[in-house]
Amino acid sequence: MPNWSFLNSGLLLNGLTATSYVNETQFSTGYPACDSIIHAGLADRLLLPTDTEYAARISGGGTGYWSWNSRQHPFCIVQPRSAEEVSKVVTALLEAGDGSGDWHIAVRAGGHSTGGFNNIDNGVTIDLGNLNDTTYDEHTNTASIGAGAHWVNVYHELDKHGVLVTGGRDGHVGVGGFLLGGGSTYFMGTHSFACDSIKNYEIVLADGRIINANKDENADLWKALKGGGANFGIVTRFDMEALPNTKLAYRVRLMSFEHHKRLAKDFVDFTNTYEDHPNDALVFFMRGAPKLKQSLMGALQVNTEGKTEGTGLAKIDEVPHLPIPNTGSYEIKSLYESALHPLAGDQWAAQATICFANRQELVEKGIQYHEQLVQDLKQTVGNNFTTYFFFQPIPTHAAKISEQKGGNVLGLDNAADHAVLFTATALVLTSQHDKVIAQAKINSLVTTLKRDSQELGGNVDLVYMNYADSAQDPLGSYGAKNVEFLTKVAQQYDPEGLFQTRFPLGFKISRTNKL
């Protein structure tokens, strides 16, 4: 952290106090936006490009951004330590930007969102990384979690109290973006999306007010934040329902491509009967790379009660798995232990997502398109890439669970079919140019699969925000009723539309065309 302590030391310089000495003429960062943070009394929260910690927050590793996509270089980074300081920062920056200049504001929680959504070249990044406390109130059974925390630290702290929350599967994913986008978890079958377990949001509005949103206070905002993204303010704390900290039965199995049709059927059967075994979780996936003769098929299998037998995963267990180290056998782990994955980094990430009805023919088409993508990328970007396709079940009863908890805005309320959450990803090690090529290939593939689902009567509108490419429209996929609701809520809590214009990154309700 840069040493700004002299600004408040009371030191006299030429008869002036340090505070009066700080002005645009005598002390300037070179950017009025960054100077406004100093004038707001938050100089020691500022990171400039010359600071070592600035580089650490931009780069990969434990404190930086997970992929090269997000490693932009803002004028400065400001790191508030409380909701009150976030309020001061928002007020200062919006006042500094009241002109025709073309600079904007980004907000970072964990640094894992779609590239370009949580950092900025032409502006200031508000870094919530210091808002990372997790506390537990046993009287209300509530876990209060700072928006800048990472799930691995949340689980570690809650472990001490014998509880957990329905958070992210990867411990290095941040809390803020994950929850505002909905949050797919191991507990989908029993608790629906993670956002459905949020009792209260503490949020800073564009006018600097700090308010709470829950079922009794600002209830419309409470619902809008359950999947509505960064359209209303900056959430600084999430208060979540806690669950007993049961152990998970957890394993990853890798299987030969020759079993792909059987695995597709087993996945569909699992999803169709999900309500009968709600404590099971399954992520069906594929992995491709130029050096592999055939793609690998995989299954992440979890039982949230720690059971290894008599679960809904039995059919998949019958498929022989490959003898690859650290796979194949169940491990009994806490949620914290299961989240201790190494952080992927130093790569360009291309990704897009859709949902479709739980039909075997559509799952098989996804598998087919994966093989085509691998061949296409070999011809266009060379040998330095890895592909992953993921298939996750969204059972219809998840919407019923959500409704019992106050509802969300994801638009699955009236779903007639169980859905498959499909995600196509390519990780490229070469250049941004190759990432753009890979992204175009993935976007085309997803468009084709979407058309297939429509033609086969298996369309599901949802575009899951947390996996979406920036060119997609997750908010529009929630349906006209929810788009209208989100628009009204945004206008009510941000009447000047500052979180649509001055905070332009991410998926914005003002840009959707689905009214």
Q: What is the pLDDT of residue 346?
A: 74
The two structure tokens encoding residue 278? 């709600």
Q: What is the pLDDT of residues 135-194, one digit of tens each?
A: 999 999 999 999 999 999 999 999 999 999 999 999 989 999 999 999 999 999 999 999
Residue partners of 393: CB distance under 8 A and separation at least 6:
188, 267, 270, 271, 274, 282, 358, 418, 419, 420, 421
Question: What separation in angstroms does the CA of 2 have from each of 49, 60, 107?
Answer: 11, 21, 21
**Do 286 and 295 contact (CB within 8 A), yes or no?**
yes
Report the range of poorest mean pLDDT among 20-24, 92-96, 466-470: 20-24
DSSP 431-499: -HHHHHHHHHHHHHHHHHHHHHHHHTT-EE----GGG--TTS-TTGGG-HHHHHHHHHHHHHH-TT-HH
Predicted confidence (pLDDT) per residue in 274-286, tens digit = 999 999 999 999 9
Domains of the chain: which residue ranges? 5-127, 134-244+479-511, 248-333+344-476
Q: What is the pLDDT of residues 364-420, one digit of tens each?
A: 999 999 999 999 999 999 999 999 999 999 999 999 999 999 999 999 998 889 999
pLDDT, residue 11, reads 30
Q: Which helix (H) or strand (E) holds 221?
A: helix 219-224
Residue 22 has pLDDT above 90, yes or no: no
- Give yes or no for a contact between 182 and 229, defined as CB atoms under 8 angstroms apart: no
Same-fold call for 5-127 versus 248-333+344-476: no
Class of domain 134-244+479-511: alpha beta
- 5-127: CATH, from 3.30.465.10, 3.40.50.300, 3.30.1360.10, 3.20.20.140: 3.30.465.10
* Rounded alpha-carbon distances, angstroms, from residue 263 to 122, 296, 451: 47, 12, 23
- Fold classification of 248-333+344-476 (topology level): Vanillyl-alcohol Oxidase; Chain A, domain 3 (3.40.462)
Please give the pLDDT value at position 25: 41
Average model confidence (pLDDT) across the chain: 91
Residue 345 pLDDT: 66
Residue range 342-355: mean pLDDT, rounded: 85
Are the C-beta atoms of residues 392 and 418 closer than 8 Å to each other?
no
Q: How far apart are CA 386 and CA 468, in angstroms?
A: 18
